[in-house]
């Protein structure tokens, strides 16, 4: 099954495609953060990196045959500041653009309009498998205490893109707020990306006041 071979970054990119319009939902730059976090989380899930003394420690830098993972491993090799927040903040659009290109080149999605990667419209090739990815994210959102780590990470990244109401519509706003806290406690990558989003929001509010 092709969806099973997709890492967290590719899965969150698929979820970011609006099922009605085919447009990529960037959520004020949060998609770039979420995809970068997906790459970091996938490396952690494969036990290639871990968090030690609040910094990312690389255990295995050998090529993975996944361009997204190999890009990050190469950057980590030469990055002196390996705090997760710094890694994610420095990512910009590198991983997001690569992930969108991978979806098309691997036949997981096809472009239905002629434009650049971010401005194009996309159609997911296999909607049944997309539904399974959506269900995985929903598991993390509905039961962050008991869901698998993969479900927790994907659910956490989906919440960064404000997809909680879409994936788990039965959750009220209080439940959604509680879930965000639990997801951050379950996984250090989810906590790191939420910290970056919160810091950016605080900075924007301060600048506007």
- The domains located in the chain, with CATH, are 2-199 (1.10.3630.10)
Quick count: other Cβ atoms within 10 Å of Cβ 39?
30
Buried b (16+ CB within 10 A) or exposed e, 14-27: bbbbeeeebebeeb
| The pLDDT of residue 4 is above 60 | no
| The pLDDT of residue 194 is above 80 | yes
> Where in the chain does DSSP place strands (E)?
49-52, 55-58, 109-111, 122-124
Per-residue pLDDT, 196: 95
pLDDT digits (tens, 9 = 90+) for 11-30: 999 999 999 999 999 877 89
The Cα–Cα gap between 13 and 96 comes to 8
pLDDT digits (tens, 9 = 90+) for 126-136: 899 999 999 99
- pLDDT tier at 115, thresholds 50, 70, 90: confident
Per-residue pLDDT, 50: 97
Check residues 81 and 71 and name the one with the higher pLDDT: 71
- Single pTM value for the model: 0.93
């Amino acid at each position: 099954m092709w969806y099973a071979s997709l890492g967290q970054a590719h899965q969150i990119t698929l979820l970011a495609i609006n099922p009605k319009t085919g447009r990529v939902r960037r959520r004020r730059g949060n998609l770039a953060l979420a995809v970068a976090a997906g790459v970091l989380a996938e490396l952690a899930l494969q036990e290639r990196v871990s968090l030690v003394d609040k910094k990312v420690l690389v255990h295995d830098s050998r090529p993975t045959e996944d361009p997204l993972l190999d890009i990050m491993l190469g950057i980590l090799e030469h990055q002196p500041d390996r705090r997760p927040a710094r890694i994610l903040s420095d990512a910009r659009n590198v991983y997001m653009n690569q992930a969108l290109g991978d979806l098309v080149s691997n036949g997981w999605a096809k472009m239905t309009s002629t434009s650049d990667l971010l401005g194009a419209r996309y159609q997911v090739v296999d909607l049944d498998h997309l539904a399974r990815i959506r269900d995985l994210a929903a598991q993390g959102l509905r039961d962050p205490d008991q869901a698998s780590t993969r479900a927790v990470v994907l659910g956490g990244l989906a919440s960064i893109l404000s997809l909680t109401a879409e994936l788990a519509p039965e959750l009220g706003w209080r439940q959604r707020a509680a879930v965000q806290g639990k997801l951050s406690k379950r996984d250090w990558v989810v906590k790191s990306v939420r910290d970056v989003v919160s810091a950016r929001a605080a900075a924007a509010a301060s600048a506007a006041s």
